[in-house]
Structure 1
Amino acid sequence: MDIRVDTDACVGCGLCIKDCPMHVYELQNNVSVPVRPNNCMGCLSCHEICPAQALEHRGIYSAKRHYIDIKVCEMLRKVI
């Protein structure tokens, strides 16, 4: 997984850090950094929540957000 952060665009809000279920990102010098890119499962949740559109995931293309169907979320909560 090749995750890139546009450091000029990133505003350091930390939304991607809070939203990522796999703890891929950390804030360093007020910029989000993908410190654990191998943990990324490709849900693109961070990409969608980023107000600056500063995140790029090479090799993954979003057809739909993975968590859009509430029934799927409910099912996952029962399993997890």
Structure 2
Amino acid sequence: MDIRVDKDACLGCGLCVKDCPMDVYELQEGISVPVKPKNCMGCLSCHEICPSQALEHRGIYPARRHYIDIRVCEMLNRVI
């Protein structure tokens, strides 16, 4: 997954940071940064909540979206 943030468009509102169930983003100097892109499961909730549409996810398409709670992912990681 290739996650890109348009730094000129990002408002630094932090909605993607708060909304991401996998803690992919954090705010750095007022800009959202994907610090854990490998954790991204492609639910695109961050993309949908971003008021400036500053996020781009290459390699994932809306028809393939899914949402899994972080607790479920942690449980699956212990089992696998």
Who is 2:18 aligned against?
A: 18
Aligned-pair CA distance for 1:63: 2.4
* Residue 14 (structure 1) shift: 0.1
Q: CA RMSD in A?
A: 2.1
SS in 1 for 2:63: coil
Separation of aligned partners in 2, 1:65 and 1:42:
6
Distance 1:64 1:50 in 2: 19
Residue ranges of structure 2 left out of the alignment (5+ in a row): 73-80
Structure 1, 57-66 or 23-32: larger mean CA deviation: 57-66
Shift of 1:21: 0.1
Match for residue 30 of structure 1?
A: 30
Per-residue CA deviations over 1:23-80 (Å, capped at 9, x if unaligned) read 000000100000000000000000000000000000111028646xxxxx9xx7xx95
**In structure 2, distance between residues paired with 1:41 and 1:66:** 8
Aligned length: 71
> Which amino acid in the other structure matches residue 9 of structure 1?
A
TM-score normalised according to structure 1 size:
0.80
- 2:58 is the alignment partner of 1:58: yes
**Structure 1, gaps ≥5 residues long:** 68-72
Please tell me whether the aligned partners of residues 9 and 53 of structure 2 are also in contact (alpha carbons under 8 angstroms): yes
